[in-house]
Structure 1
Amino acid sequence: MSDTISVVPNAAKDLVRTPNEDALPRRFADFDTFCDALDYAAQGSRGFNFHDPRGTLTRVYPFSELREDALAVAYALVARGVKPGDRIALIAETGTDFAALFCATVYAGAWPVPLPLPTSFGGKDNYIEQLAVQLSSSDPAMLIGPDEIAHLTSAAAERQGCGHATWSEFAAKDAPEVELPKALPDDICYLQYSSGSTRFPHGVAVTHRSLMSNLAAHSHGMQLTETDRCISWLPWYHDMGLVGCFLSLIANQVSGDYLKTEDFARRPLAWLDLITRNRGTSISYSPTFGYDICARRISSQSPVSDRFDLSRWRLAGNGADMIRPDVMQNFVNAFADAGFKASAFLPSYGLAEATLAVTIMPPGEGIRVELVEEERLSGSPRDLSRPARYRAIVNCGKPVLDMEVVIRGENGQTLGDHKIGKVWCRGTSVMHSYFRDPEATEACLVDGWLDTGDMGYMTEGYLFIVGRAKDMIIINGKNHWPQDIEWAVEQLPGFNHGDIAAFSVEMENGEEAPAVLVHCRVSDPVKRLELHEMIRDKVRSITGMNCVVELVPPKSLPRTSSGKLSRAKAKKLYLSGEIEPFRLAA
Structure 2
Amino acid sequence: MADGTNGSGAQVATATDDTLPRRFADFATLGDALDYAAAGDKGLNFHDARGCLVRAYPFRELRDHAIATARRLIGAGVEPGSRVGLVAETGPEFAALFFGAVYAGAWPVPLPLPTSFGGRDSYIDQLRTQLASCTPVMLIYPPDLAAMAGEAARLAGVEGEDWDSFASRAAADAPLPTAMPGDIAYLQYSSGSTRFPHGVAITHAALLNNLAAHSHGMEVRPGDRCVSWLPWYHDMGLVGCLLSPVANQVSADYLKTEDFARRPLAWLDMISRHDGTTLSYSPTFGYDICARRIGSQSRVEDRLDLSRWRIAGNGADMIRPDVMQSFVDAFAPAGFQASAFLPSYGLAEATLAVSIMPPGEGIRAELVEETQLSGGDLDDRNGGGGARRPQRYRAIVNCGRPVRDMALAIREEDGTDLPERAIGKLWCHGPSVMAGYFRDPEATEACLIDGWLDTGDMGYMSDGYLYIVGRAKDMIIVNGRNHWPQDIEWAVEQLPGFKAGDIAAFAITTPGGEETPAVLVQCRSSDEAERVRLREEIRERVRSVTGMNCVIELIPPRTLPRTSSGKLSRAKARNLYLAGEIKPYAIAA
Task: Name the TM-score class by shorter chain.
Answer: over 0.9
Q: CA deviation at 1:11?
A: 11
Indicate which of 192, 198, 202 corresponds to 2:194. Answer: 198
Amino acid at match of 1:444: C
Match of 2:341 in 1: 345
Indicate which of 164, 184, 190 corresponds to 1:188. Answer: 184
- Confirm or deny: 8 A CA contact 1:526 1:585 kept in the other structure: no
Q: CA deviation at 1:408?
A: 0.6
Match of 2:249 in 1: 253
Tell me whether 1:307 sits opposite 2:310 in the alignment.
no
Q: CA deviation at 1:117?
A: 0.4
Match of 2:531 in 1: 528
How far apart in 2 are the matches of 1:168 and 1:299? 42
- Confirm or deny: 8 A CA contact 1:205 1:435 kept in the other structure: yes
Match of 1:572 in 2: 575
- Please list, as runs of the form range in 1=range in 2, the aligned pairs for 1:136-285 lying within 5 A after superposition: 136-285=132-281
Indicate which of 26, 31, 53 corresponds to 1:30. Answer: 26
Q: CA deviation at 1:385?
A: 3.9
- Please list, as runs of the form range in 1=range in 2, the aligned pairs for 1:93-492 lying within 5 A after superposition: 93-379=89-375, 384-492=387-495
How far apart in 1 are the matches of 2:422 and 2:202? 31
How far apart in 2 are the matches of 1:452 and 1:11? 52
Q: Closer, same or farther in 2 for the Cα pair 1:36/1:409, shift >3 Å?
A: same
Indicate which of 83, 87, 94 corresponds to 2:83. Answer: 87
- TM-score (ref. length: structure 1): 0.97
* Partner-residue secondary structure (3-state), 2:305: coil
Match of 2:380 in 1: none
- Confirm or deny: 8 A CA contact 1:20 1:255 kept in the other structure: yes
- Confirm or deny: 8 A CA contact 1:22 1:45 kept in the other structure: yes
Q: CA deviation at 1:107?
A: 0.3
Q: Closer, same or farther in 2 for the Cα pair 1:166/1:359, shift >3 Å?
A: same
Amino acid at match of 2:338: A
Q: CA deviation at 1:12?
A: 10
Amino acid at match of 2:339: S
Tell me whether 1:42 sits opposite 2:38 in the alignment.
yes
Amino acid at match of 1:503: F
* Partner-residue secondary structure (3-state), 2:323: helix
Deviates more, 1:39-48 or 1:407-416: 407-416
How far apart in 1 are the matches of 2:303 and 2:69? 42
Tell me whether 1:541 sits opposite 2:559 in the alignment.
no
- Confirm or deny: 8 A CA contact 1:379 1:479 kept in the other structure: no
Amino acid at match of 1:101: L
Amino acid at match of 1:506: T
* Partner-residue secondary structure (3-state), 2:62: helix
Tell me whether 1:563 sits opposite 2:566 in the alignment.
yes
Deviates more, 1:442-451 or 1:170-179: 170-179
- Confirm or deny: 8 A CA contact 2:375 2:422 kept in the other structure: no
* Partner-residue secondary structure (3-state), 1:282: strand
How far apart in 2 are the matches of 1:200 and 1:12? 52
**Alignment RMSD (CA, Å):** 1.6
Amino acid at match of 2:206: S
Structure 1, unaligned runs of 5 or more? none
Deviations 1:490-533 (A, max 9, x none): 11111111111000111111111100001111121111101000
How far apart in 2 are the matches of 1:532 and 1:542? 15
Deviations 1:409-453 (A, max 9, x none): 122111111100000000000000100100100110000100000
Q: Closer, same or farther in 2 for the Cα pair 1:10/1:76, shift >3 Å?
A: farther
How far apart in 2 are the matches of 1:137 and 1:428? 26
Deviates more, 1:370-379 or 1:356-365: 370-379
- Confirm or deny: 8 A CA contact 2:375 2:424 kept in the other structure: no
Deviates more, 1:292-301 or 1:165-174: 165-174
How far apart in 1 are the matches of 2:413 and 2:434? 24
How far apart in 2 are the matches of 1:345 and 1:318? 7
Deviations 1:203-242 (A, max 9, x none): 0000000000000001110000110000000000000000
Deviates more, 1:151-160 or 1:420-429: 151-160
Amino acid at match of 1:577: G
Tell me whether 1:52 sits opposite 2:55 in the alignment.
no
Amino acid at match of 1:384: A
Indicate which of 520, 542, 547 corresponds to 1:517. Answer: 520
- Confirm or deny: 8 A CA contact 1:74 1:104 kept in the other structure: yes
Q: Closer, same or farther in 2 for the Cα pair 1:582/1:184, shift >3 Å?
A: same
Indicate which of 562, 581, 587 corresponds to 1:584. Answer: 587
Amino acid at match of 2:12: V
- Identity of matched residues, %: 69
* Partner-residue secondary structure (3-state), 1:559: coil
Match of 1:19 in 2: 15
Deviations 1:508-566 (A, max 9, x none): 11111100001111121111101000101111111111110001111111111111110
Amino acid at match of 2:209: S
Match of 2:58 in 1: 62
Structure 2, unaligned runs of 5 or more? 377-382
* Partner-residue secondary structure (3-state), 1:378: coil
- Confirm or deny: 8 A CA contact 2:427 2:454 kept in the other structure: yes
* Partner-residue secondary structure (3-state), 2:432: coil
How far apart in 1 are the matches of 2:547 and 2:85? 48
* Partner-residue secondary structure (3-state), 1:14: coil
- Confirm or deny: 8 A CA contact 2:5 2:12 kept in the other structure: no
How far apart in 2 are the matches of 1:361 and 1:19? 28
How far apart in 2 are the matches of 1:143 and 1:333? 45
Match of 2:379 in 1: none
Deviations 1:313-348 (A, max 9, x none): 000000000000000000000000000000000000
How far apart in 2 are the matches of 1:337 and 1:302? 10
How far apart in 2 are the matches of 1:133 and 1:572? 18
How far apart in 2 are the matches of 1:516 and 1:318? 27
Deviations 1:180-218 (A, max 9, x none): 100000000000000110111100000000000000001
